[in-house]
Amino acid sequence: MTRSALFEEIKKKQSFLCIGLDTDIALIPKHLLQYADPVLEFNKQIIEATKDICISYKPNTAFYETEGSKGWETLKKTFEYIPENIFKIADAKRGDIGNTSQKYAEAFFKNMNCDAVTVSPYLGADSVKPFLKYAGKWTIILGLTSNEGSNDFQNKELISPARHDKEVLGSGGGEKNSGNSEGQKLYETVIQTASGWGTPENTMFVVGATHPEALTKIRNIIPDHYLLVPGVGAQGGSLTEIIHHGMNSVCGLIINSSRGIIYAGSGKDFAEKAREAALLINAEMKKALELTINN
Amino acid sequence: MTRSALFEEIKKKQSFLCIGLDTDIALIPKHLLQYADPVLEFNKQIIEATKDICISYKPNTAFYETEGSKGWETLKKTFEYIPENIFKIADAKRGDIGNTSQKYAEAFFKNMNCDAVTVSPYLGADSVKPFLKYAGKWTIILGLTSNEGSNDFQNKELISPARHDKEVLGSGGGEKNSGNSEGQKLYETVIQTASGWGTPENTMFVVGATHPEALTKIRNIIPDHYLLVPGVGAQGGSLTEIIHHGMNSVCGLIINSSRGIIYAGSGKDFAEKAREAALLINAEMKKALELTINN
């Protein structure tokens, strides 16, 4: 799916909602257990109930891998079931040395027919570039994640190249510190560096909804890229704040909610309840789109 | 497998070799294609030919995921085929927010019965800790990887907490830079921080063989942990250097070779050729063990 096709879909549906299919067989309604593949049946009913009001689905691979080869089959069938006009994200957080990342890219882009896969940047350029080689596909790189552990490394400050030359190489030893001595944080360096590997037409970044204050900085670095924003709902991120700080001229946001939508109900009407939960989020999205994009 | 059982195995076999089962159906000998599961047959023959001279096997999940659910089944059967006394590593480089990492841990430790899984540290503590909850299992955290891209972020210098207080918070503005102003590199911070999440009894770190110069620093931070060292062979790392800088009193090294061993031959005698390639590496390992551990 191209960037402009994605934006058209957003305008048409007045929504930039992604529904996370983190489907856990232990948490789905009990009446589904009679089906040959209860997780697939759950996903199908969620998709049927919400496909006209969201623009993306994001199955999280971990929830399928726990079921072994059967789970992998469910994942594939889930992607096959999602309509063509909807942006299909494999939330896999893969990343390895070049020849291995190439295999992961093949697994998700060629065999699963996803539109996008999430990728961890820790191994650097050659771990991400094999994903970028697939025309019409998207690589979504982890920038600043929604969890508490994002403070452990992503939020650490790096010595900037200018300071490094001055201080470590010693050429400016003894100088006064300037007022503006703050280093760039790791996640900022990751986003800045990795945005140079691809383009806004094939790369997005993950920015957790729990860090709305960081979005202004991120938008300074990458004004044009789409951001995949998890963490609204169960993880406590504020949709209003994200919209306020993160939207750009093509919306530029795909907001994910998983548990808050798919487990909104626990009875036979779980899919309807999921739709209701999605519509609540959409109401705010529609307002935001009317205020910014539509004018 | 416990740390002492692993060390016993190393002493018994006079080897600390791990064979990487990055088995690519396009690269295995053609006569195997007649089997129902050619990749499994290849792995079985490699295992039969080398199980008495290596202490670990490490299938790389990417090479199985490209084959979809069938590949996932092959991966499971490969782990089942590996003898109990051999350390089974799933090279998966997973890592996600807590509730998701828990699912990955379940997939590999409960359903696959691996001894260890490789994990990416980018998401921090809560992405790694669910793996550490499994008694008798190992979490192998990426520290400094063997690829060129390791320079993009892992080798970047962070502002140390002491400098941060002085410089960013401004309390010491105007001081001269001390001679020792070098910051800690990201990979050092990762190893130092993550070594506190577990113990040398349940945590190892990946350190690429292409960075022998970094091993002395790493051994200062974690003298006791085992290191999983890929990058010998096809990627150009030197075994001698790694042994010299990385060994500790319980050996402390698991050296991986994948392509250099499993594709040493391409005919019907591929397994024998693999054994020969493994024995070449083992000769140097035996010498190193005799010089250090056995005395």
Interface test mutation site (partner A, options B24, B58, B60, B65, max chain A beta carbons within 10 A)? B65
Question: For residue A172, what is the nearest residue in chain B, using CA coordinates?
Answer: B177
Residue of B nearest to A150 (CA): B123
Q: Does A73 touch chain B (CB under 8 A)?
A: yes
Distance (Å, rounded) from C-alpha A12 to C-alpha A86?
12
Count other C-beta atoms under 10 Å from residue A200's C-beta: 16
B168 → closest Cβ in A148, A174, A181: A181
Asked whether the predicted pLDDT for residue A163 surpasses 90, the reply is: no
Burial letters for B72-103: b for 16+ Cβ neighbours within 10 Å, e otherwise?
Answer: bbbbbebbeebeeebbbbbbbbbbbbbbbbbb
Contacts of B291 (CB under 8 A, 6+ apart): none
Q: Is A288's pLDDT higher than 80?
A: yes
Whether B62 has its CB under 8 Å from any CB of chain A: the answer is: yes
207-236 of B, contacting A, C-beta below 8 A = 235
- A78, with CB counted inside 10 A (0-12, 13-18, 19+), is buried
Q: Which residue in chain A is spatially nearest to B124 when comparing CA positions?
A: A149
DSSP E strand stretches across chain A: 17-21, 56-59, 87-94, 116-119, 138-144, 157-158, 184-185, 203-207, 226-229, 253-257
How many beta-carbon pairs below 8 A join chains A and B?
Answer: 217
| Partner-chain contact B65 A121, CB within 8 Å | no
Of A14, A92, A23, the residue nearest A55 (C-alpha): A14
Phi, psi (degrees; rounded to nearest 5) at B158: -95, 155
| Residue from B147, B163, B176 whose CB has the most chain A CBs within 10 Å, to mutate | B147
From the candidates B152, B166, B182, which should be mutated to test the interface with A, based on the most A CB atoms within 10 A?
Answer: B152
SS3 A31: helix
Structure tokens of B244? 């010299």
Neighbours of A242 (CB within 10 A): 24
Q: What is the pLDDT of residues B129-153, one digit of tens each?
A: 999 999 999 999 999 999 999 999 9
Task: Please report the pLDDT score of residue A184 as a whole number.
Answer: 94
Provide the percentage of residues in chain B whose pLDDT is more than 70.
92
User: Helix H segments across chain B?
Assistant: 3-13, 38-50, 62-65, 68-81, 98-105, 125-132, 161-163, 186-195, 215-221, 239-246, 259-262, 270-292
Count CA within 13 A, CB hemisphere, residue B161.
4
Q: Tell if the CB–CB gap between B106 and A66 is shorter than 8 Å.
A: yes
Residue of B nearest to A152 (CA): B124
Residue B113: predicted pLDDT: 85
Distance from CA of B250 to the nearest CA of A (A): 29
3-state secondary structure of A92: strand
pLDDT of residue B160: 74
pLDDT tens per residue, range B190-207: 999 999 999 999 999 999
Within a 10 A sphere around the Cβ of B57, how many other Cβ atoms? 25
Class of domain B3-188+197-292: alpha beta
Residue B177 CA neighbour count, 13 Å, CB half: 22
Query: What span, in angstroms and rounded, lies between the C-alpha atoms of B125 and B162?
Result: 22
Q: How far apart are CA A37 and CA A75, in angstroms?
A: 11
- pLDDT on residue B295: 55
What are the structural domain ranges in chain A?
3-168+182-292
Q: Which of A76, A93, A129, A273 is catalytic?
A: A93
Interatomic CA distance for residues B214 and B195, integer angstroms: 17
And the tokens for A36?
Answer: 């040959």
**Strands A184-185 vs A157-158: parallel, antiparallel or unpaired:** antiparallel
CB–CB of B93 and A95 under 8 A? Answer: yes
Is residue A25 less than 8 Å (CB to CB) from chain B? no
pLDDT at residue A171, rounded to an integer: 46
The pLDDT tens digits along chain B (295 residues) read: 999 999 999 999 999 999 999 999 999 999 999 999 999 999 999 999 999 999 999 999 999 999 999 999 999 999 999 999 999 999 999 999 999 999 999 999 999 989 999 999 999 999 999 999 999 999 999 999 999 999 999 999 998 765 555 554 544 433 333 333 468 999 999 999 999 999 999 999 999 999 988 999 999 999 999 999 998 876 777 899 999 999 999 999 999 999 999 999 999 999 999 999 999 999 999 999 998 876 5
CA distance A173 to A156: 24
Amino acid at B135: A
Q: What's the rounded mean pLDDT across residues A272-290?
A: 96
H/E stretch holding B91 reads: strand B87-94
Residue from B231, B277, B223 nearest B254 by CA = B231
Residue with tokens 């927010």: B97
A3-168+182-292: CATH superfamily? Aldolase class I (3.20.20.70)
A70 touches chain B (CB under 8 A): yes
The tokens describing A254, both together, are 């795909």
**ipTM score of the complex?**
0.93
Mean pLDDT of A12-25: 98
Contacts of A26 (CB under 8 A, 6+ apart): none
A272 reaches B (C-beta below 8 A)? no
For chain B, give the mean pLDDT: 92
Listed in sequence order, the residues at least 6 apart from A178 whose beta carbon sits closer than 8 Å to its beta carbon are none
Q: Does B267 touch chain A (CB under 8 A)?
A: no
Q: What is the mean pLDDT of residues A62-83?
A: 97
pLDDT of A173 reads: 39
What is the crossing angle of helices A239-246 and A270-292, to 10°? 30
Looking at per-residue confidence, does A235 or B117 come out higher?
B117
Please check whether residue B152 touches A, CB under 8 A: yes
Collapse the DSSP code of B16 into the 3-class scheme (helix H, G, I; strand E, B; otherwise coil) and give the result. Answer: coil
d(CA B156, CA B134): 32
Dist CA B146 CA A18 (whole Å):
36
Q: What is the pLDDT of residue B150?
A: 97
Spatial CB neighbours of A289, under 8 Å, sequence gap ≥ 6 = A10, A11, A14, A16, A251
pLDDT of residue A4: 97
Express the helix, strand and coil content of chain B in percent, nearest 5 each.
Answer: 45, 15, 35
Of B69, B153, B190, the CB nearest to A72: B69
Decide if B202 touches A, using CB distance below 8 A.
no
In this prediction, residue A293 has a pLDDT band, given cuts at 50, 70 and 90, of confident
Q: Tell whether B165 lies on the interface with A, counting CB pairs under 8 A.
A: no
- Give strand pairing partners of A90: A117
Spatial distance between the Cα atoms of B145 and A287, rounded to a whole number of angstroms: 46
Segment A177-214, tens digit of pLDDT:
333 346 899 999 999 999 999 999 999 999 999 998 89
Residues A104-159: tens digit of each pLDDT: 999 999 999 899 999 999 999 999 999 999 999 999 999 999 999 999 999 999 98
Distance CA B85, CA A253 (A): 50
- For residue B162, what pLDDT is reported? 57
Give me the residues paired with residue B251 across strands: B248
